[in-house]
Structure 1
Amino acid sequence: MDTIYFDLDGTLTDPKPGITRSIQYALQKLDHPTIPTEDELTWCIGPPLRSSFVKMLGDRDADRAVALYRERFSDIGLYENRVYDGIGDVLTTLRASGHRLFVATSKAHVFADRIIDHFGLRQHFERVFGAELDGTRADKSHLLEHALKEVSVDPAKTLMIGDRSHDMVGAKNNGMKGIGVLYGYGSRNELIEAGAQHVCATPGAILDCIS
């Protein structure tokens, strides 16, 4: 593969505390009768945020919930995060081998850019692609379509690496190959059923799947 797109949450970094606590904050502000635990909210890591709130609250309150989530996430939550062990070495090796690397995340790019900079990952990536704050391109298929056009690369020579079904479906819908990672928040069955051609248990295993 010449060009590789990496998901952010659950693939490059573990964002669980920041995301789940910010969801809890939003639900508390909305006086939701039950506040799920952090572990009970891990299913929200990966999919577009608004769609997760729709499942919990219905369409009417979803936009308000997103705004409340961002109140906490923009100042606190995005730093409650850590880079997975071994990711830096993987990115360094891939760049040294001549691959072009990009980030493609359903997270708003204004937050994704801050996370990439905060954790010292900017050197590895040519560009970070993410959603707009209004939800435009939060869908992974739309995001990858945009990212491929912006970089002007052949999808058949391009790879998407991510931890959730949305990453694999987005890749398949754009003629890309997909590699799923199991150290994030998706299961082996979820990834394979969504079209992953390989699944990797550790960051280091990604290198074995890339020619």
Structure 2
Amino acid sequence: MKNKKLVLFDLDGTVTNPEEGIIAAIKYSLKHMDLELLSDEQLKKFIGPPLKDSFQKHYHLSDEESHEAVNFYREYYATKGIFENYLYPGMSDVLQILLEKGLLLGIATSKPEKYAKQIMTYFNLETYFAGVFGSKMDGTRSQKAEVISYALTHFPAIEKEEVVMIGDREYDILGAKKNGLKSIGVLYGFGSRDELEQAGATAIVDAPREIINVLI
């Protein structure tokens, strides 16, 4: 994968570790929905997929109920949880090196684009990325394949074989495949090697720095 021009990064579990804020926001939502509280380890499974889908999958909520659960989640997340987050060690160096090598970088996340841009500002990452692409606040464009497709429309001069998607969950890898892209799975996030291999990741790395070895 040495011929890439555009690198799309997932956000949660790939660039930043949002575990503390997301789990706190889920607990806040569950409390207000009067739902059974799962363990923190079980709640980690909410990190990555569209939030509405996770509420439906793990609590068998209706569309209306899951929408209400997401709204409660956002009450906490938008003001506090979004900042209970940290940049993975070494990630800023990786981004800087990729830029210096002439690669374009983008964020492709199922998180609402509004929140993703706030996180970029909070961590002073805006200068690294040529675009930040996410879902809409109404829950549309939340599937990873849709987000990636949306991101690609902003780089019309770049061919698909010149793009790679990097992420920690199967959704990132499968979204990349649906768009005809190669992918790099990362093991320092919230997915397992088995999950990433079964999804068909082109390459798998253990640490942020190893992304450089794959691409440069």
Q: TM-score, with normalisation over the residues of structure 2?
A: 0.95
Q: 2:24 aligns with which of 18, 21, 26?
A: 21
Q: Are residues 1:159 and 2:161 paired?
A: no
Task: Give the partner amino acid of 2:136.
Answer: E
Could you tell me which residue of structure 2 aligns to residue 6 of structure 1? 9
SS in 1 for 2:13: coil
Q: 1:198 aligns with which of 200, 203, 208?
A: 203
Shift of 1:155: 1.1
Could you tell me which residue of structure 2 aligns to residue 77 of structure 1? 81
Deviations 1:43-73 (A, max 9, x none): 1100011000111332241000000000000
Shift of 1:148: 0.6
Q: 2:51 aligns with which of 46, 49, 58?
A: 49
Gaps of 5+ in 1: none
Deviations 1:119-178 (A, max 9, x none): 111110011000001111110111111111122121111000000000000111101110
* CA distance in 2: counterparts of 1:193 and 1:209, whole angstroms: 20
RMSD: 0.9
SS in 2 for 1:161: strand
Q: 2:193 aligns with which of 168, 172, 188?
A: 188
Shift of 1:95: 0.1
Question: Which deviates the most, 37-46 or 199-208?
Answer: 37-46
SS in 2 for 1:89: helix
* CA distance in 2: counterparts of 1:127 and 1:6, whole angstroms: 11
* CA distance in 2: counterparts of 1:55 and 1:180, whole angstroms: 24
SS in 1 for 2:191: coil
SS in 1 for 2:153: helix
SS in 2 for 1:180: strand
Q: 1:173 aligns with which of 170, 178, 187?
A: 178
Task: Give the partner amino acid of 2:165.
Answer: M
Task: Give the total of aligned pairs.
Answer: 210
Taking only the aligned residue pairs, the percentage that are identical comes to 41
Q: Are residues 1:40 and 2:42 paired?
A: yes
Q: Are residues 1:31 and 2:10 paired?
A: no
* CA distance in 2: counterparts of 1:81 and 1:90, whole angstroms: 19
Q: TM-score, with normalisation over the residues of structure 1?
A: 0.97
* CA distance in 1: counterparts of 2:40 and 2:74, whole angstroms: 17
Answer yes or no: is the 8 Å Cα contact 1:17–1:38 preserved in 2.
Answer: no
SS in 2 for 1:159: strand
Answer yes or no: is the 8 Å Cα contact 1:21–1:77 preserved in 2.
Answer: yes
Deviations 1:88-114 (A, max 9, x none): 000000000000000000000100000
* CA distance in 2: counterparts of 1:55 and 1:174, whole angstroms: 25
* CA distance in 1: counterparts of 2:154 and 2:93, whole angstroms: 27
Gaps of 5+ in 2: none
Q: 2:106 aligns with which of 102, 105, 121?
A: 102
Could you tell me which residue of structure 2 aligns to residue 68 of structure 1? 72
SS in 2 for 1:150: coil
* CA distance in 2: counterparts of 1:190 and 1:109, whole angstroms: 26
Could you tell me which residue of structure 2 aligns to residue 123 of structure 1? 127
